[in-house]
Structure 1
Amino acid sequence: MKRDVADFWNLLWEATLGLCALFALLNLFAPPQDLPWVPLDLNRPIGSATGTKVAAFDIARTAAPDQVEATTEACMAALRGADVQVERAEDTDDGGFCQVRGAVRITGGDVTPLSPSVVMTCPLAVRYVLWDRQVLRPAATEVMGSDVARVDNLGTYSCRRVYGSVDASARPSEHARANALDVAGLTLEDGRKVTLLGDWDGAGPAGGDGAVLLKRLRDGACRVFSTVLTPDYNDAHKDHFHLDAASYRLCATGPSRTRRAAADSESG
């Protein structure tokens, strides 16, 4: 009996040493962005654990006020640690489903400005900075040969249900929480503009390169945001990307509405 107990403890000790060795090897060789226990670094590429780290800043609807402040302060500290200037904004509560908790505003620093400046949830701001650094700026430089001066947007907060529905059973829009950003296009440092309305199909002022850039931005956004809706999705998004941080995932990558309509007519 004593020998059985000793064997058990020896086995447990060996397993513990093995786990410690594995943990050390992962810390040594695995990319930090793929390790859930390594703090979020907005300067690192998007990894398999990035979404989990950002989600740690999400605020539950039932969170107490002190939890809201503590979580938002930690989120803002992550932004400030990445040289992003951010300030706490006023929260909103209409007494119904339109509630913004943990609101912030990006005011400057190492981030492409949003025009106009908007209030958003702090986790959405973190996702925007990741998209800006890891997707937007590299893609614009590579495809268009110019850095980005500003991102032109259609806002974040709107007290409404999805698609503006008046049906009380319809799901509230993420805009009702300032947890969604609508991007209409961008202005490059050299003065050129790329817009979703004009350049999505490559026939606009930015030409084929503009369309290539927008598709790159969409694909990269799908790695950062929970929901990405595009002009391919429906007419309501013909002039902007809808980027949000909802609890579910949806990445609208096509096919385009034109191709879907053609397929439907052929099958009909």
Structure 2
Amino acid sequence: MKRDLADFWNLLWEAALGLCAAFAMLNLFAPPQDLPWKPLDLDRPIGQATAAKVDDFEISRVAAPEEVRGVTEACMQVLRDAGVEVERAPDRDDGGFCVVKGAVRITGGDVTPLAPGGLVMQCPLAVRYVIWDRQVLRPAARETFGSEVASVQNYGSYSCRRIYGKEDPGARPSEHARANALDVSAIRLEDGRVVSIASDWRGTGPAGPDARPFLKRLRDGACRVFSTVLTPDYNEAHRDHLHLDGAPRGLCA
């Protein structure tokens, strides 16, 4: 009996050593963007753990002011470490579900400008935008059109409304009501060309046939870092823009 118990503990000890060795190898050789315990680095490719790391900066609707402040500062530091200039925006309460906490503004630095700029958005949404800009948008523009990106045209982020602007009290609040969504209408390239969602999504617009695979690549890349991505393929309400948000639910269409 004692020998059986000793054998059991030896086996358990060997298993523990094996697990430690496996963890050490994983920690040493696996891409950091795939490991949830590694810090978020906006210069690394989108990995298996990237979206979850961004989710760590999400703030609940009932978060206390000190939690909002601490989490938002940590989120802003990630942006600053990546060379993005960002400032805290005032919290906003327009009543009901239209409450914005932990908002920021991207003011410059190593990021493609939004046009119009000065948008107020949740800090995690700003992080998602920077990742998408660096890891998806810029490479796609260079490889497809041989040009850098001058700006991302948009319809804004904050709007106190329900989805699709519905008046029905039973309709779900839009993520725009929390400044947790960005509507992208077009990409302006440095060579002067404009790739528009409304005109070029089908590949028959002024930007030419390359526009369709380019915009689909932007959509597919966005689905890896934003939780909800809606396009003209989804419904008529999104015929002229890409809706990108950080909602708890996920949908890519």
TM-score by length of 1: 0.91
Structure 1 residues 168-187: Cα deviation after superposition (integer angstroms, max 9, x where no partner) = 11110000000000000111
Structure 1 residues 185-227: Cα deviation after superposition (integer angstroms, max 9, x where no partner) = 1110111111111111112110111222111111111111111
Give the deviation of 1:244 after TM superposition: 0.4
Q: Distance in 2 between matches of 1:2 and 1:42?
A: 55
Identity of aligned residues (%): 73
For the residue of structure 1 that corresponds to 2:211, the secondary structure is helix
Indicate the residue corresponding to 1:140 in structure 2.
141
Gaps of 5+ in 2: none
Indicate the residue corresponding to 1:174 in structure 2.
175
Structure 1 residues 58-108: Cα deviation after superposition (integer angstroms, max 9, x where no partner) = 011111110011111111111111111111011111231001111001111
Indicate the residue corresponding to 2:233 in structure 1.
232
Q: Matches of residues 1-268 of structure 1 in structure 2 within 5 Å? A: 2-117=2-117, 118-252=119-253
Give the deviation of 1:5 after TM superposition: 4.8
Gaps of 5+ in 1: 253-268
For the residue of structure 1 that corresponds to 2:142, the secondary structure is helix
For the residue of structure 2 that corresponds to 1:126, the secondary structure is helix
Instruction: Give the aligned residue type for 2:13.
Output: W
Q: Distance in 2 between matches of 1:3 and 1:96?
A: 68
Instruction: Give the aligned residue type for 2:222.
Output: A
For the residue of structure 1 that corresponds to 2:21, the secondary structure is helix
Give the deviation of 1:11 after TM superposition: 3.0
Instruction: Give the aligned residue type for 2:175.
Output: E
Q: Distance in 2 between matches of 1:10 and 1:68?
A: 48
Q: Distance in 2 between matches of 1:23 and 1:74?
A: 27
Give the deviation of 1:40 after TM superposition: 0.7
Q: Distance in 1 between matches of 2:219 and 2:148?
A: 18
| Bigger Cα displacement from structure 2, 240-249 vs 203-212 | 203-212
Instruction: Give the aligned residue type for 1:157.
Output: Y
| Bigger Cα displacement from structure 2, 86-95 vs 10-19 | 10-19
For the residue of structure 2 that corresponds to 1:149, the secondary structure is strand
Q: Distance in 2 between matches of 1:13 and 1:101?
A: 48
Q: RMSD in angstroms over aligned alpha carbons?
A: 1.2
Q: Distance in 2 between matches of 1:95 and 1:14?
A: 59
Indicate the residue corresponding to 1:266 in structure 2.
none
How many residue pairs are counted as aligned between the two chains? Answer: 252
Q: Distance in 1 between matches of 2:169 and 2:137?
A: 37
For the residue of structure 1 that corresponds to 2:59, the secondary structure is coil
Structure 1 residues 103-152: Cα deviation after superposition (integer angstroms, max 9, x where no partner) = 00111111101111111000000100110000000000000110001100
Give the deviation of 1:13 after TM superposition: 2.4
